Amino acid sequence: MLRKARISDVTLIHRLINSCAERGEMLPRSLAELYDNMRDYFVYEQPETGDVGGACSLHICWEDLAEIRSLCVVEHLRRRGVGADLVRACMEEAKKFTIEKLFVLTYRREFFRRFGFEEVEKTKLPQKIWTDCVKCPKFPLCDEVAMITRLS
């Protein structure tokens, strides 16, 4: 079941994201950051257990720009459409807010190409660079790929 995150999900989202971060799949997120941005998150609730099996957020950066971030799915649910459903939920919410462009920083180019994302130089995303990237331990030697799509 896909739904918006609840306060009770934050510690589970934290554990999920940081387990993916330990494998080098994404950057870790602090509990404080997750509580601050909790309304950005969608979760996939596993029907059999009620546990969070996946998470993804839509973070609005500017009047016409938002980022899909922190997409993570537990190992046993990967390649079953959970990640795709989470991305679609974020894209639909972006359309409701009349966001024109969505971007992602990712290691998974092919996955995001299926949703119409195309690679761009990070310099095309100054709002991201000067708000988040400058605080990242990988800055300026980031190895993630920037991708963007236009919503119609």
pLDDT tens string 69-85:
999 999 888 989 999 99
pLDDT band per the 50, 70, 90 thresholds, residue 130 = very low
* CB proximity list for 119: less than 8 A, separation 6 or greater: 109, 145, 146, 147
Would the pTM count as exceeding 0.85? yes
Residue-range definition of the domain harbouring residue 23: 2-150
* CB proximity list for 83: less than 8 A, separation 6 or greater: 54, 56, 71, 73, 111
Any idea what the CATH number is for the domain that residue 141 is in?
Answer: 3.40.630.30
Mean pLDDT across 94-122: 93
* Domain tally, the chain: 1
d(CA 5, CA 86): 12
| pLDDT (tens digit per residue) in 48-59 | 888 899 999 999
Residue 57's pLDDT is 97
Selection from 14, 90, 104 nearest residue 52 by Cα = 14
pLDDT over threshold 80, residue 62: yes
